[in-house]
Structure 1
Amino acid sequence: GQPVRDVYMRRKPLFKEVSTYEFCPPVKADDKAVEQAFCTFTRHVVSPPSPVLEGSTFLSLTSPDLTTAGINLADMAKDVDALELRVDLLADPSTLPHQIFHIRSQTSRPIVLTVRSRGEGGRFDGDDTAMAALLCEGVRCGVEFVDVEKRLPSSLIDTVVRSKPRRTRLILSQHFISPGVPP
């Protein structure tokens, strides 16, 4: 027979097509981290969403790679209600599932997934379709909130909305970098 990895890679598109969520621990993750991340992930997937309270706060995670930054997210998250993962600031956006796993392995705080374009003050240089694809990938990884730029074409906003289960909330945002000048 074929090596298991080859079979998995061949079948991966089929698995994605028929699943709503994807849990992606790194190959070398320790058992305790996997357990913590999986418990947080499944709690989000099966529980009703928590109410968003007035005065809620979040901490923006701006590291190019959370897995190597040496940051204690549990300590950092103690005084905030959620953590914002800035995908546009990641050195390699293809590591998104592992970045989400890393957050989940250290804290149960909700994740706000953001991909901010240059026009709205971020560093994402890809096109709108690539942005929507990253947002949809984050939704598949079980983030609680997805921040979508209002300027995106309505067809792409609809794509993100259709990809998200009821438990994931949508934040529609717009950022004016120059006063009075829309992006």
Structure 2
Amino acid sequence: MRIEAVQGDITTQDVDVIVNAANSSLLGGGGVDGAIHRAAGPGLLDACRELRRTTYPDGLPVGSSVATPAFDLPARWVVHTVGPNWHAGERSGSMLLSCFVTALEVAVELGATSVAFPAVSAGAYGWDVDEVARIAVGAARAWETGADSSWEPDHPHPTGIVLARFVLFSPQALAAFEHQLAR
């Protein structure tokens, strides 16, 4: 699995799955969440409303992930994950780690081979971007090495994911992720 970090707009990524740093309502918001909802078009909001009506009437719990179609995005699916909110006292690294792990699990269930992640919880939710980068890159590396040791880089990864891309909006976030990737 190739793990990389780029600066850019997650809504333009040509991957199977883009991960949305959603709020528990799943009904859109600011930052990455709002950008994804705007770019995907009204179908995404309709799909999220249906999830709220059926599967998650109380909202998606922190650290959990769920998929919808991507509608007008270049990706095939959006995997929504709810990061912990530092400002609300949700300061457990394991809660943040769960966002990345459950998003990868859902992506594999979908049959995805490529996933683009934002810096979940590093924006409005107030987590330090260096800590988010450490946890996110650690999660991707653990996912990669948790597979069958006979895997060879020229063949599909046993879990199906061959690319994990962190798409960062700011130069500061990119630098934090590049630092972790260089370690």
Give the TM-score normalised by structure 1.
0.34
Greater share of strand: 2
